[in-house]
Structure 1
Amino acid sequence: MHAQNDIWISSQELQNLPVTGAAWDKLKSEADKPSGIPNLSDQNDSANVRTMAKALVYARLGEESYRNAVISSCMQAIDSEIGGRTLALGRNLAAYVIAADLVDLPEPEDSQFREWLRRTLTEELDGRTLQSTHAERPNNWGTHCGASRIAVALYLDDTTEVNQAAAIFKGFLGDISSHSDFMFDDDLSWHADSLNPVPINPLGAMKDGRMIGGVLPDEQRRAGPFSWPPAQENYCYEGLQGVLAQAVMLSRAGYDVWNWQDRAMLRAFTWLHEEADFPAEGDDTWQPHIINYYYGTNFPAPVPSRAGKNVGWTCWTHGQTIPANQKPIVTTFYPTGGSETTAVTIYGFYFSNSTQLRFNDTSDLSYVIESDTKIRAYVPSGASTGTIKVANPYGTGESTASFAVTAEPVLRVTLMMQGAYFSSGMMNTTLNQNGDIPLTSPYADAPETASAIPGDAVDWVVLEARYTVTGQVPLKRSYFLRKDGFVTETDGTTIDLALPGIPSGDYYVSIRHRNQLLAITATRVSLFAGQNAEVDFTTGLSQFYNPSSAVELEAGIYGVRAGDADGDGYLTTGDYTVWYNSFRLAANGYEPGDFNFDGYVTAEDYNLWLTNALAGSASFSQ
């Protein structure tokens, strides 16, 4: 008779679990169904997890009928993988091994089972073996095969095989010194470092200002190249099915897997929840029970949950979370520096009951706990360069890196608007003279209020700093546009604009107005802490991302075209509709259809729109 290795869980542990409740009822219901004929060549066969259910019920209740069913299924599974692929074998095999371990296969069945298990490690299926797939594939193929490989090795007491598999698993989590022979897809856009790709992105990895630490790039790319917000790609959870199964078995064998590579598995799970906004669904709902059990977290974990493709029933076996009672752990933050009021996202663990957050020794009283693993904070006034500290009743966690408190970048912008242009490098201030400009900016996404309207103000505009031309805008702020083309603070005189809260970097700078086309710089502008930058849209069409969005107003002076009443960056019938609705009512004052800033909606505004629309004018390339 086989001596139990407690590969997944021990019979002794199961005796402490309840035989009532939704989790048990789900498990027992599955165990009471007919076993079905095992087919390890079918990657969608569910007889494996049903066999595992029968083994768990037997180990808890001791009823021989369940054991006999498991023994029969294990024997029928032998050689049923022939003709299939390693993915099918990888998905199916682990559950049979765990089940066999729980019921103590008798002789001669155990010897036959062992001989077969030894063959499964190296038999070739569709050009691959269980071992080679584990070592080469940085996705669900490799993780499922790794889980079954580890289950087999533990059952056979093959320490060498377990050690080799553990080294590959550590490499999968990101330790290239442990293993680095994975074969990646050509699309490397989701990797933190495309020259040194790893199956799980490292701690703190960023791309275009977005957190990608914890991403499984070879799974996420199935939804397409890098973009934001990220697609909710279910293959990421499919890959984690094999990852978590490997982790449970290796941890029971004495490996410190849960802490490897800066808690890579928790980071992967957290990214799916926090960044992709994608909780586990369907046959992945067994996974949060494992994460919560080993990390003391509180991810949504349905009871009952569904079994996975390889293992399951964790809402019963691992439904009790190990109390955390731990001080916060600060793993990383972004940006790595900035001026006062800069928004900083802090990542880590055990944040839920945090009571204090400090930049060096200066408290931020406005921080927001977004989840157990993420805090949104703001650099407080008076802060100096130093570590970030988060405290809760159990202690204080401190970042290893320092946050660099810096001076704000300063930007000077000059822009002319066709609709308001008068002559000699000046725009009209008719709306201002009529008292039509409101004290509060009309842009809801960039609120700002002035104590008074400066005498030379033409109108409110929004200055934006963009990571990309069409989106990802870390800075939006309302300013006044002065009649000489300078963008100013609300005092109407300050033209050197301090940009609070923006991470240092290269950005497209844009100026947005309520009825003129969006002006976007042709190239990125460097906005770095303590440095001055300047953008002058008036000097030529080449200053604009799409030259068709601008027009020469008089010799050597250029401005953005009028007529974009609906603010979509294009001149279309939608803008005409806005104009017409105001025109037929003889509207006047601060109207979106007043393209020439004279305080009235007239045919002159229509003609201005029509001329530009016929010219194919747009802020973006068409």
Structure 2
Amino acid sequence: MNLRICISTLVILFIQSLVNAQSIEKFSIDAGGASTTVGGIEILYTIGEVNVQEYSTPSFSVSEGFINANLKISIDPKVFLQGPSLNASNPGLMNDILRSDDKLPVTSPYQDLVVINASVLNDGGTSGFGGTSDDIVDWVWVELRAANDNTKMVNGRSALLQRDGDVVDLDGLTNLTMHAAPTNYYVVVKHRNHLGVMSASTIGLSSNSVAIVDFKNSGFSTFGTNAQIQLTSGDMALWAGDVNNDGVVQYVGDTPDSPSILSFVLNDIGNVLNLPTHSVSGYYTYDVNLNGTTQYSGLAPDTPFILQNVLSHPGNSILNLSTYKIEEQLPEH
């Protein structure tokens, strides 16, 4: 008898819950927030509420609650790559052979795989009236790292590098926009076959002004020791030759880069005679000087650039060992 009463009671309660329960058919959580750094500690906070009223048309929308716009800051990095600076056709400008020979892809080689309009790679940019110094050399990768942990990437994205060293947005002209809160960051620039570089100290970045981060300037402090090579012009540039992407430039030894070039050349489908002098045309990481051609030995080989860097590195000035390693000066986990 008691069991029947219990079951009947549960059934009645269940039916009442169906009748009286609240029902929210459409809702979203709209929130706001920001971040700040105090005493080296980064604080992130959000505020929000359940939004139960929404109205929208093709031209506008109304939503109850807090709406947080995307955080954006502008930055003006400047950097030279050693590879296209070798035997430059114009003083103070990198070569842009990849672009002029139609070998530069419209899709970024980095992880975000962004795509640009092909007109950005025209002579003079999209308009056709831009200066020669603004023509695109290659893609680069830019990171912002946390002030309290320089191994932690807060935001990273692909960008375009102009001949004069300006790192610009995907239109090939305007300052680079990063999606992060206005505060202080370490700034990092990387390239697919050069050693990356990072600012020695944090840089204050804001949505109201554009911060210049000039890695070309020999007076600008970078993290680590001999993070860049000094060109004959006096400008600084990223070390070329990391064709196997291990963060080290080495000619021979336990992690050398030159054998990767040899293997690539010998295994090219067009090298039917397996000649080390065979040239491979295209957009490849094995192309040290970014001239659109990869060759192990012959008339225009890429491997001597690696040997020259290793032998001329300030850390190898006494013994001049071909096995010396030029290590990327980036703090990593």
Range class of TM-score, shorter chain: 0.5 to 0.7
Alignment equivalent of 2:287, drawn from 594, 611, 617: 594
> In structure 1, what is the Cα distance between the partners aligned to 2:208 and 2:144?
17
Q: Residue type matched to 1:589 in 2?
A: G
> In structure 2, what is the Cα distance between the partners aligned to 1:472 and 1:382?
37
> In structure 1, what is the Cα distance between the partners aligned to 2:52 and 2:327?
46
Q: Residue type matched to 2:116 in 1?
A: A
CA positional deviation for 1:561 = 0.8
Alignment equivalent of 2:166, drawn from 464, 480, 486: 486
Deviations 1:481-509 (A, max 9, x none): 11111112233222x2232x211221111
Alignment equivalent of 2:34, drawn from 335, 356, 359: 335
> In structure 2, what is the Cα distance between the partners aligned to 1:462 and 1:542?
19
Change (3 A) 1:508 1:567: farther
Q: Contact conserved, 2:281 with 2:294, CA < 8 A, in 1?
A: yes
Name which one, 1 or 2, has greater alpha-carbon Rg.
1
Change (3 A) 1:449 1:621: closer
Residues 1:581 and 2:248 aligned together: no
User: Which has the larger share of helix?
Assistant: 1
Alignment equivalent of 1:606, drawn from 280, 303, 320: 303
Change (3 A) 1:600 1:567: same
> In structure 2, what is the Cα distance between the partners aligned to 1:383 and 1:607?
63
Unaligned runs of 5+ in 2: 1-5, 7-20, 37-43, 124-134, 269-277, 314-324
Q: Contact conserved, 1:520 with 1:545, CA < 8 A, in 2?
A: yes
Change (3 A) 1:548 1:383: farther
> In structure 2, what is the Cα distance between the partners aligned to 1:545 and 1:481?
21
Identity of aligned residues (%): 25
> In structure 1, what is the Cα distance between the partners aligned to 2:62 and 2:72?
14
CA positional deviation for 1:565 = 2.0
Change (3 A) 1:408 1:562: same
Q: Contact conserved, 1:416 with 1:559, CA < 8 A, in 2?
A: yes
Give the total of aligned pairs.
252
Match of 2:104 in 1: 437
Pairs within 5 Å for 1:559-574: 559-572=237-250, 573=255
Q: Contact conserved, 2:77 with 2:167, CA < 8 A, in 1?
A: yes
Deviations 1:195-225 (A, max 9, x none): xxxxxxxxxxxxxxxxxxxxxxxxxxxxxxx
Unaligned runs of 5+ in 1: 1-15, 17-323, 338-343, 364-380, 390-402
User: TM (normalized to structure 2)?
Assistant: 0.63
Alignment equivalent of 2:218, drawn from 540, 550, 553: 540
Change (3 A) 1:560 1:411: same
Change (3 A) 1:600 1:467: same
Q: Residue type matched to 1:438 in 2?
A: P
Change (3 A) 1:412 1:486: same
Q: Contact conserved, 2:200 with 2:224, CA < 8 A, in 1?
A: yes
Residues 1:408 and 2:72 aligned together: yes
Alignment equivalent of 1:617, drawn from 298, 318, 326: 326
> In structure 1, what is the Cα distance between the partners aligned to 2:192 and 2:215?
18
> In structure 1, what is the Cα distance between the partners aligned to 2:219 and 2:306?
19
CA positional deviation for 1:582 = 1.9
Higher relative contact order (CA 8 A, sep 6+): 2
Q: Secondary structure at the match of 2:293?
A: coil
Residues 1:460 and 2:142 aligned together: no
CA positional deviation for 1:333 = 6.7
Q: Contact conserved, 1:454 with 1:491, CA < 8 A, in 2?
A: no
> In structure 2, what is the Cα distance between the partners aligned to 1:476 and 1:492?
18
Q: Contact conserved, 2:223 with 2:329, CA < 8 A, in 1?
A: yes
> In structure 2, what is the Cα distance between the partners aligned to 1:556 and 1:471?
30
User: Which has the larger share of strand?
Assistant: 2
Q: Secondary structure at the match of 2:173?
A: coil
User: TM (normalized to structure 1)?
Assistant: 0.36
CA positional deviation for 1:557 = 1.2
Residues 1:476 and 2:142 aligned together: no
> In structure 2, what is the Cα distance between the partners aligned to 1:490 and 1:430?
19
Pairs within 5 Å for 1:250-261: none
